[in-house]
Chains A and B, each alone.
Chain A
Amino acid sequence: MRRLAALALLLPPLIVFVVFFICPLVYLFYVSLHEASQSELFGASISLASYAAIFSDPFYATIILRTLKTAAIILGLALVIGYAAAFTIARMAPRWRIVCLVLLLFPLMVSNVVRAYGWVALLGRRGVLSTALRGAGIIDAPLAILYTSYAVIIGLLTILLPFMIISIANSLAAIDRSYHEAAQALGAGPIKTFLHVTLPLSSPGIAAGALLVFLLTLSAYVTVTLLGGPQSKMLVSLVYDAVVAFQWPRAAALAFVLLAIALAVAALIQTVLRPQRVGGRGR
């Protein structure tokens, strides 16, 4: 009876997720394995032509490398800045910590298109920064940051930073104070305590934050387009371009290249940080 009730509860959400999440992805993979067609979504014969085209074209290689490089820079900066901010927030009184966390959650709720637009207004040639710096006589020519990879990095970094800060701060706040006291009682200085106690114990937060920042960088089409312009395209822009050109198998294959990169990096993050060694705590 209990089992039957649990099954009846589970079935509706499970059906929705299997039919509208897993099936479409399987279908997308199926599409990626076909030749392009003029009249249909995809041609009749099975072929790896789309994948072959992606891996043999130096244009795609350039963009994939640029995507990885940009994502790595954003991830590195987010780790350093995010850890510093999280460390400060985790040591605040609980009341202030909640205020800070809500201040970080609020931007995450605002649509990315609005936040990217804010950077367009700030960084553009006639934007706030350009006008202010020229008015102060610091620069002569208008700022030329917008529509470069720098704008993409600044924009995505600030859009994704709250994820990193929140997950590390939660992880740090969950660490039992007595560990620090134990380390210090055993003669470890503050730096040693940090490197051997605090840092490893916060690895679940670092891993969760790093994963989110990296995955969301890979799929941030709108931010990349608004801030990077046509010169700084990333892998996700190619997916979009292929869709707009109705090259469905090509778009599908690019999507799976992107997914493969995402999976590989997720596995890498898990292996390097080994968050599972901090059993169950720190979330």
Chain B
Amino acid sequence: MRALTFILPAVTVLAFVVIIGPIAIVVLAAFSPTEFFTFPPPGLSLRWFVEFFRLQNMRDAFTLSLELALSAASLATVLATMAALAVVRRRGIVANLLQSLFLAPLVFPTIILGLALLLFYKSLGIGILPGLILAHVLVGTPYCFRAVLTSLQAFDFAQEEAGQSLGAGPLRTFFLIILPQIWPGLLSGWFFALIVSFGELNTALFLTGPGETTLPIEIFSYLQFQGSQLVIAAASALQVGLILVLIFIIERLVGLARLTRS
């Protein structure tokens, strides 16, 4: 028993080290002044970030990922809010099935979703860009759905009825009564979908094409075919930096507690 008070914190610290350590190493490597990463680094430099923005394909992938994340997260938030509003007050098998459907991409093997979409797009003739956006919407929607649903469950729907009995239509009720109270859920869902889309890998694996590649896929093909050049570390560090900035914004706007709940 006495030993446990020792072992448990030790295991916890170790877990945090092996979870966060690899990310820290990549970020550190991005600031290397040398051709190859050595530890500890002899100094710090920004040359690999400069190199990153000089490479056309990297720049394109970064822009595409950003555009994709912004559009997919926004679409996912709209769809998820509609779904959550429709489902929140229902009970029974249909409601449960619908909830499972909108949450399914969370646990569904993403690479298989990518393969299914690839074949589906091929037979319908859907282009790369709309195909990627749709795939990212599917992957992002569950995060928004959960966040909005949690907010709606705390909402008192008597207020909606009050609004309607005073003559407000469904749209006015939503924008004047419901939205002002659930926006933190909407916003954290949007941020989550944005981050997930920006890092999305396995679904997009089959769906990108020449000249239309997302940043994670570009990083992957670099690692696979050109070895670990440090420009990859810079690309990764940019991603990590963006996530940290977004976490900071979420903290400021809605608080971190909401983030850990959804």
Distance between A202 CB and nearest chain B CB, rounded to angstroms: 15
A116 to B26, CA, bound (A): 10
Q: Per-residue 0/1 for B13-48: is the Cβ within 8 Å of any A Cβ (1 yes, 0 no)?
A: 011101111111110010000001111000000000
Indicate which residue in A23, A121, A243, A255 contacts B26 across the interface (CB closer than 8 Å): A121
Indicate which residue in A10, A161, A255 contacts B115 across the interface (CB closer than 8 Å): A255
Contact A16 B112, beta carbon cutoff 8 Å: no
Contact B39 A162, beta carbon cutoff 8 Å: no
Contact A118 B196, beta carbon cutoff 8 Å: no
Closest to B87 in A: A10
Contact A114 B109, beta carbon cutoff 8 Å: no
A120 to B236, CA, bound (A): 13
Indicate which residue in A6, A114, A116, A215 contacts B107 across the interface (CB closer than 8 Å): A215
Contact B22 A103, beta carbon cutoff 8 Å: no
A84 to B12, CA, bound (A): 7
A191 to B4, CA, bound (A): 11
A61 to B141, CA, bound (A): 36
Distance between A161 CB and nearest chain B CB, rounded to angstroms: 6
A220 to B111, CA, bound (A): 8
Indicate which residue in B20, B38, B115 contacts A103 across the interface (CB closer than 8 Å): B20
A21 to B104, CA, bound (A): 9
Q: Given known contacts A21-B138, A259-B112, is B8 in contact with A111 (CB within 8 Å)?
A: no
The answer to the question of B170 belonging to the interface, with a C-beta cut-off of 8 Å to chain A, is: yes
A63 to B120, CA, bound (A): 28
Distance between A164 CB and nearest chain B CB, rounded to angstroms: 10
A23 to B117, CA, bound (A): 9
Closest to B246 in A: A109
A12 to B84, CA, bound (A): 12
**Contacting residues, chain A, for B205 (C-beta < 8 A):** 221-222, 240
A189 to B107, CA, bound (A): 38
Indicate which residue in A5, A24, A161 contacts B19 across the interface (CB closer than 8 Å): A161
Contact A215 B25, beta carbon cutoff 8 Å: no
Contact B141 A117, beta carbon cutoff 8 Å: no
**Contacting residues, chain B, for A255 (C-beta < 8 A):** 109, 112, 115-116
Indicate which residue in A16, A25, A251 contacts B79 across the interface (CB closer than 8 Å): A16
Contact A27 B119, beta carbon cutoff 8 Å: yes
Contact A98 B83, beta carbon cutoff 8 Å: no
Closest to B112 in A: A255
The answer to the question of A81 belonging to the interface, with a C-beta cut-off of 8 Å to chain B, is: yes
Residue among B102, B107, B224, B256 with max Cβ neighbours from chain A (10 Å) = B107
Closest to A225 in B: B224
Contact A158 B22, beta carbon cutoff 8 Å: yes
**How many residues in B have their beta carbons less than 8 Å from beta carbons of A?**
83
Contact A10 B220, beta carbon cutoff 8 Å: no
Distance between A111 CB and nearest chain B CB, rounded to angstroms: 3
**Contacting residues, chain B, for A222 (C-beta < 8 A):** 201-202, 205, 220
Contact A13 B199, beta carbon cutoff 8 Å: no
Closest to A18 in B: B101
Contact residues of B between 220 and 249, Cβ < 8 Å to A = 220, 223-224, 228, 232-233, 236, 239-240, 243-244, 247
The answer to the question of B71 belonging to the interface, with a C-beta cut-off of 8 Å to chain A, is: no
The answer to the question of B177 belonging to the interface, with a C-beta cut-off of 8 Å to chain A, is: no
Residue among B1, B22, B98 with max Cβ neighbours from chain A (10 Å) = B22
A20 to B140, CA, bound (A): 14
Q: Per-residue 0/1 for A131-161: is the Cβ within 8 Å of any B Cβ (1 yes, 0 no)?
A: 1100000000000000000000010001001
**Contacting residues, chain B, for A118 (C-beta < 8 A):** 21-26
The answer to the question of B211 belonging to the interface, with a C-beta cut-off of 8 Å to chain A, is: no
Contact A27 B23, beta carbon cutoff 8 Å: no
The answer to the question of A51 belonging to the interface, with a C-beta cut-off of 8 Å to chain B, is: no
A143 to B38, CA, bound (A): 15
Contact B116 A27, beta carbon cutoff 8 Å: yes
A28 to B25, CA, bound (A): 40
A190 to B224, CA, bound (A): 51
**Contacting residues, chain B, for A186 (C-beta < 8 A):** none
The answer to the question of B172 belonging to the interface, with a C-beta cut-off of 8 Å to chain A, is: no
A selection of 8 A-B contacts at a CB cut-off of 8 Å is: A81-B11, A84-B11, A88-B11, A107-B20, A112-B201, A121-B233, A215-B109, A255-B116
